[in-house]
Structure 1
Amino acid sequence: MCPAPAPWRPRWLVMLRAPVDRRSMRELAYVVTGLPLAVIAFCYAFGGLLLGTTLLITFVGLPVLAAGLAGCRALGHLERGRARALLGLAVGEPDPVRTLRRSSGLMSWIWALLRSGATWRHLFYALLHLPWSFFSCGVGLLAWCAGWSMIAYPLWEWLSPDSVGTPPIRIGRDGLTSASTPQQSSTVLEGGFALAFVSALGVLIVLLTPWLIRGLVQVDKLLVSGLLGPSWLATRVSQLETDRGVVVDTAAADLRRIERNLHDGAQARLVSLAMELGLAKEKLLDDPEPDPQAVAALIDGAHGEVKLALQELRDLARGIHPAILTDRGLGPALSALAARCTVPVSVTVELEERPVAAIEGIAYFTVSELLQNISKHSAARRGSIDIWRSEQRLLIQVTDDGKGGAQVEEGSGLAGLADRLRAVDGLLAVYSPVGGPTTVTGELPWR
């Protein structure tokens, strides 16, 4: 089920709440806690790497280096958990070392660790994260502390008796200095004006600090997802395995549908035809004086069954792959499809050339299923189909002015359609607010 959309808030309210909302506090906690953990990880990784490479001339070097790499993987697990808890960043686990082991034993475990690309990425993260943590923690804490200190400056002025004789503030080319420092082309703020200026500047810094920290955290997200997660190749293999399962399930469902339609449709018609022809044959052969009217009625009924069976076979063949799509392409095929829809539908196809047959077929059946949804569920008065090419992608957009409320829920027709498009590196986007209109956009690779 799709998550409920976040309530809309004015931008000024978002800006005012940013310094104290939970997301900003979690991001600040992530930046602050990252520095001590980065120091520990760097010391461990650098020490293990240095000690292991130094001892490589002996047999002890490899186990020490492997133990250091295993510790880096454990620290990476901790970092992924911290990112998940404080940033809401869900990063998958990398491939386990056991998948690379060829046998049991210590040496197999050591060679598996040394051959694992994920293990070396964890080591690189431990070495790279320390300088970045110094920078992000220093900048974030400095801005946060400076802003709140400047806001509290009037209170400090009031509570501290030693600050009664504090000199005024001078604003010049060198920034904020004491008024006792001589400068040219400067402005002096005294008394309440100085306090108000410092407080207003502090408020501005406090309001901007959450967005500064949010920008710093984006770099941490890139580091965690890029170095501590599964490799792109492993992710791609997993995605292809999932897509292959979707394709196999879809093909099996199509075969079951064809079998069911043949059994309940054309096959039943042909059985009835055989029975009626058998009755006609009996009347002609067994009856010494056959009634021509009765035989003609039986033959006429058989003729009707033949026509119905042929029509059902044509419909079934059209459902498998329509001849008009093969012969004339998407434009005429979709126009014929729209003509059979219960809702008036306009068709616009802007393609200078035809895509490959497989993509063309997927596009056709995608539009066919969306038109069925319009006929059955939308209560629309009109609809439209637009097909065009954008670089190496084929874009499909089906719109209706119905009641809306369509969602890509688990087990729904739209969810199955999205899985089919995803199996060929496509995607499906649904915009359907309650009350309409509904716009479904599909994107497919051109080849």
Structure 2
Amino acid sequence: MGTGAAGRGERGSAPEVGAGVLLRGPFTGRALRQQGYLVASFLGAFAVLLFVCVTITAGSVLLLVAVGLPLLLVAMAALRRFSRRERRRILNLTGERIPSPYRTPRPTGRPTARLLAHVSEAATWRDLVHLVVASALGAAWFAVVATTWALALGALSVPFWYRYLPHHRIPLMHLSGNEFYVSSTPGVIAFAAVGFVFMWFLGPALLELATRTQTGLGRALLGLSRPELDRREEALRSTRSQAISAAEAERRRIERDLHDGAQQRLVALAMDLGRAKSKLKSGSEEDSEAAARLVAEAHEGVKLALSELRDLARGIHPAVLTDRGLDAALSALAGRSPIPVEVDAALPGRPSPEVESAAYFVASEALANMAKHAHASRAWIDLEYRDGALRMSVGDDGVGGAEAHAGGGLAGLGDRIAPLDGILSVSSPIGGPTQIIMEIPCQIPSAS
């Protein structure tokens, strides 16, 4: 935690410009990064603006011809790519991540549908405004930075080239008909020193102003708008409520299973052992045989209680899930199901433990519900990683009619994956088949 805070302070967007920074002028690590950012931002914005203008114009003119639509899609892709790179540049410079504002990050389908998806995004138009403004401001800041360096280097080199000026002197000003100039060697050196020191101290301030202006523009236009932020905040509140509800429902289920299952068996076991102890004290042969039967029954009760506790622990987080991963845990889950279950799991690696646990819980509860209500002869689990998301489909050939009503088990599955930005859909027409589809966005290291 401390390391992250320190890194943020070192690369933050609003550091204090103290005496140490001023004395080092434009050669501090931050100043060099700022200059690189400003140059890359300006040159990138100018090149992309020129490209987008040409392709949009050509695409609009040729829209009735086959090549017009692809040209417009190329322009939209270039615009979005530049915005992504600008967000990454701001992250590298300031340490501040600007969230992607797109509802559909990668539009799919026919070219017309993809173009409409781009055009209907408010973020696309904000990207275009940012590109135009960033190009204009970037040109201004580029000129300021270049002028600062030119004046500083020019002042530093004055003693070497002032002799080539007319009359070997540097004109300063005309005042009341009099001309003021510098021509002596000490005066030229003093003039160069004053000019260089002035630019040396002014450079960091100009770089700071330019950087804050450009990054502020990016934060304002390339991130989420105020309505989108409000929607995200409301979604986070809802997700937090769903997470609390899911945790509370899980706690109640564990308490119920313990109370109705293992706890009752252990109470009965204690009573049986107590009766066996009483009979053994009497010492008679008949009581000894009765005590032996009670001990045997208690032994069976212990095995049943242990089995129920194992099943309860397996329903929370089985050991095979931790040791061997989600695909092995699903295969073990299918092997215990009373319905024949086919498992098709093809993952390039292991997702995070939270994602694995949530996916296992969805599959476990879905198979349990199918065994109770579906009257199915077979079921299946399909698991894959595609487009940056873990996607799992659990289905059966039963009678159908499953609904995700409030307070029900299927709604609870949705609450369980909601904190991970997961979505759950249920397709279960009367007569079947039933299909439960879960999708959780995640990263699998070996898949990237």
Query: TM-score normalised to the size of structure 2?
Result: 0.47
Query: TM-score normalised to the size of structure 1?
Result: 0.47
